[in-house]
Amino acid sequence: MPHRLFNFSAGPAVLPEAVLEEARENLLSLGDSGVGIMEHSHRGKAFTEVYEETVSACRELANIPENYKILFLQGGASSQFYFAPMNFLPDERTADYHVTGTWSQKAIKEAKILGNAHTASSSEDKNFNYIPKSYDYSDNPVYVHMTSNNTIFGTQYQSLPEIPENSFLISDNSSDIFSKPIDVTKYGLIYAGAQKNLGPSGVTLVIIRDDLIQKGSKKLPSMLQYRTHADKGSMFNTPPTFGIYIMGLVLKWIHSEGGLSAMDKKNKQKAGILYNYLEQSKLFNATAEKEDASLMNVTFVTGNEELDKKFIQCTEANGFSGIKGHRSVGGMRASIYNAFPEAGIEALVKLMKQFESDHQ
Ligand SMILES: *Cc1c(COP(=O)(O)O)cnc(C)c1O
């Protein structure tokens, strides 16, 4: 086993070691097929099995009803920022956005290129350190878009916002998908880039309701219509086969760990260790409002940029990777997705305590 650091990277991020080991076994030959996982035709029997197993693992894990399709697309979550309005936002309607961070800002920017987009709520007034509790919806929006977890600012919705009648909910769940139980029936469309909680970069999971697929615009290039990918089971063109394979292994790993409720319990326990320490620390402070603080991305500062820098150097010297905060917030960010081990959080808190006592 090569030496592995505690990797707090926000994405691409840590994957379960059992998954990486199984993948390694199958790089040269998938099972006894004699052909490596990346070398199989996407239309062959071996990959078809991989694809079907990933779809059913996903459906089972999140209890996804039959009237939702599970798609594996490319172009990242960022492509869904324009996919959604292209398919669903007609000229005469409005789309409403909850703007809770950089990713939702990017999402509404794309929608505004394509049509009428309205900010239903925003937490920009406090540098996105909270989740707005009141909304100002437009008249009859076609959909409402939200970002479930704000990877950069470390906030997370604790419950879904109410939405107006006759609209449907679109959610960018890139950084907390399958970190806790989810009621898919509350959504019209869920999307998530895989590289935070599901696998490698290059594949985006899309969960979409059948009636919306049918309603989508037909005046788009085929590749930009959800119906194309839904009709062809994500095989209209060559899908990201390796990513789909790894995602399948990750989903099965979550299942073997006890499923989404077990993930939730573990994530609360893990984040709790760090937040409890932050609450009583005299040096480090969490940046997100307590009630909206993310279980996936814990953001914190010392309040002194030089000291932040020194602490980041200290983590790097002590076997931790990826703890530097996003450039738009500064400070530190510990991304502790499903696969991040509790031991790494305990080790980080130990180092923080040491650093605190050295800098009183
Ligand atoms: C990382 C991230 C994105 C961007 O994903 P790409 O796959 O790089 O396009 C979008 N939204 C959220 C919430 C993210 O965390």
pTM exceeds 0.85 for this model:
yes
Which single residue is written with the structure tokens 């969960």? Answer: 207
Low-confidence ranges of the chain (pLDDT < 70): 1
Q: Identify the pLDDT of residue 329.
A: 86
Domains of the chain: 17-256 (3.40.640.10), 259-358 (3.90.1150.10)
Give residue-wise pLDDT tens across range 101-118: 999 999 999 999 999 999
> What pLDDT was estimated at residue 25?
96
Check if the beta carbon of residue 213 is closer than 8 Å to that of residue 226.
Answer: yes
Q: How far apart are CA 53 and CA 32, in angstroms?
A: 18
Residues marked active site are found at 103, 172, 196
Residue 78 near ligand 1, beta carbon < 6 Å: yes
pLDDT per residue as tens digits for the range 302-356:
999 999 999 999 999 999 999 999 988 899 999 999 999 999 999 999 999 999 9
Residue nearest to atom 7 of ligand 1 (CA): 76
Ligand 1 atom nearest to CA at 11: 1
Which residue type is seen at 325? Answer: G
Contact 196, 14 (CB under 8 A): no
Q: How far is CA 195 from the centre of its chain?
A: 8
Pocket test for ligand 1, best of 103, 201, 205, 337 (most atoms within 8 A of CB): 103
Decide: 147 in ligand 1 pocket, CB within 6 A: yes
